[in-house]
Amino acid sequence: MDAFLRGLPKAELHIHIEGALEPELMFTLAARNGVALPFRSVEEVRRAYVFQNLQSFLDIYYAGCRVLLREQDFYDLTWGYLQRSAAQNVRHAEIFFDPQSHTDRGVPFEVVVSGIHRALTDGGRSLGISSKLILCFLRHQSAEAAMETFRQALPFKERIAGVGLDSSEVGHPPEKFRAVFDAARAEGFLTVAHAGEEGPPEYIW
């Protein structure tokens, strides 16, 4: 049955690329970039992935983001995900990314999107995986920060299919992002938003 399921053609409709960072690659990139990790071993990272709630997941998610500094890092992250997906016969992937997690650390927006896009292009050519890229705004940050990220994305419109909303939900209603979502729709972006993971029903648009 396992072989049968692996052989079926599949579409990955929801993957956060930063969350696909494997512990082994996390340590490789940390060594490449001279980043100190709060983990002593790959096994310790794997144990940390047994999280209890959204926030404990986000804590390790953002710790992993710290090793992503160069365009090649984002390429390696995305290419690794695509190779694992190809082994499971994934034919199409819709991939979320969080540019604010990187630009807030001084990594240029162009570095982030270029590394991911280059890997997606190679994945289409070499692995036969079609893809769409979706930019997510971090809901624990301000509406103004989201709008600034949206402006940074405009020169790369041809690489980004849509915008979304993710990160900590409690206390961060989607209403505060209405203006940036309206602006995104006006520019032709598709729009999605995480909702109902921890927030009340009112957070579902």
Q: Supply the residues annotated as catalytic.
A: 197
> Alpha-carbon distance 5 to 28, whole Å?
31
> 141 with 103: CB under 8 angstroms?
no
Q: Which residues of 113-138 are buried (b: 16+ CB within 10 A; e: fewer)?
A: bbbbbbbbeebeeebebebbbbbbbb
> 48 with 127: CB under 8 angstroms?
no
User: What residues does 133 pair with on adjacent strands?
Assistant: 95
CA-nearest of 63, 64, 163 to 113 is 163
CA distances from 190 to 42, 116, 160 (A): 37, 19, 9
Euclidean distance between the first and the last CA atom of the chain, given in angstroms as a whole number: 39
CA atoms within 13 A on the CB side of 108: 7
Q: Is 47 exposed, middle or buried (0-12, 13-18, 19+ CB in 10 A)?
A: exposed
